[in-house]
A and B are shown apart, each in its own frame.
Chain A
Amino acid sequence: MNIITDFLLGGWAKQLLFASVLTILLAVIAYIIGFIVAFIFTIAKLFNFRIVNFICNIYTTIFRGIPELLVIFFLFYAFSDISREANAIFSVNIDSSIISFIAAAIALGLISGSYLTEVFKGGLSAINSGQIDAAKALAMSELTIVFRIIFPQLISYTWHPVINIWLSTIKDTSLVAVIGISELMFKSNLGVTTTGQPFVFYGFATILYLSMMVLSNLGFKRLSYKYNYLLKISR
Chain B
Amino acid sequence: MSFNLLLQSFIGIVKGIPATLALVSISGLVGIIIAILINVYRKHKSINAVLQVYVMLFTGTPLFLQLFFIYYGLGNLVSSTNILQKHWLLAELFRTSFIYALIAMALNTGAYGSGIIKAAISAIPEGQIEAARALGLSRWQTFRRILFPQAFYYALPSYSNELILLVKASSLASVITVMDITGYMQQIFSATYSFYEPFIAAAIYYLAINYSIILLVKKLSKKASLWLKQSSMTA
A residues neighboring B (CB under 8 Å):
61-62, 64-70, 73-74, 77, 170-175, 177-178, 185, 188-189, 192, 198-199, 202-203, 205-206, 209-210, 213-214
The segment from B83-91, B128-136, B203-211, B219-227 that touches chain A is: B203-211
Q: Report the bound CA distance from A231 to B139 in whole Å.
A: 40
Q: Report the bound CA distance from A188 to B211 in whole Å.
A: 36
Contact B206 A171 (CB under 8 A): no
Total contacts A-B at CB 8 Å: 97
Question: Which residues in window 50-74 of B have CB below 8 A to A?
Answer: 56-57, 60-65, 68-69, 72-73
Q: Which residues of B contact A206 (CB under 8 A)?
A: 57, 61, 65, 69
B residues neighboring A (CB under 8 Å):
56-57, 60-65, 68-69, 72-73, 76, 164, 167-172, 174-175, 182, 185, 195-196, 199, 202-203, 206-207, 210-211
Q: Which residues of B contact A77 (CB under 8 A)?
A: 195-196, 199
Contact A171 B62 (CB under 8 A): yes
Contact B73 A199 (CB under 8 A): yes
Contact B202 A209 (CB under 8 A): no
Contact B73 A202 (CB under 8 A): yes
Q: Kindly provide the distance from the CB of B170 to the nearest chain A CB, expressed in whole angstroms.
A: 8
Contact A198 B206 (CB under 8 A): no
Contact B168 A210 (CB under 8 A): no
A-B contact sample (18 more), CB < 8 A, given A74-B195, A74-B199: A61-B207, A65-B206, A65-B210, A65-B211, A66-B202, A67-B167, A67-B169, A69-B182, A70-B185, A70-B206, A174-B62, A185-B68, A188-B65, A189-B68, A198-B68, A198-B72, A205-B61, A209-B60
Q: Which residues of B contact A73 (CB under 8 A)?
A: 195, 199
* Chain B, Cβ-Cβ closest to A81: B195
